[in-house]
Amino acid sequence: MPVPMKTWKTRPAYFVLIETLRKKGDMPENDLFNAMQTEFEDLGYKDFVDLLLKLEISGKIRTTSLSRGKKRVELI
């Protein structure tokens, strides 16, 4: 029985994240993670945080702390 193969996504995860923020505006980190998981089922939280860190360092997004354990992500 042949094993089903996964195909690669045509758009990188950082592009989808920026596109989501452009469409929906500022979002809490949890909501953005859930939106990303609908597109990328195998995206883990650690990978998501790494992606946020890279985009924040490159000056594309800004994360601000709302309350204990909650963050807001906004597009610059």
pTM of the model: 0.82
Q: Domains of the chain, with CATH numbers?
A: 13-75 (1.10.10.10)
1-34 confidence digits (pLDDT tens): 666 666 666 788 999 999 999 999 999 999 999 9
Give phi and psi for 37, each to the nearest 5.
-70, -25
Cβ-contact 76, 61 below 8 angstroms: yes
Query: pLDDT category, 63, cuts 50, 70, 90?
Result: very high
Q: Which residue has the tokens 């995860």?
A: 13
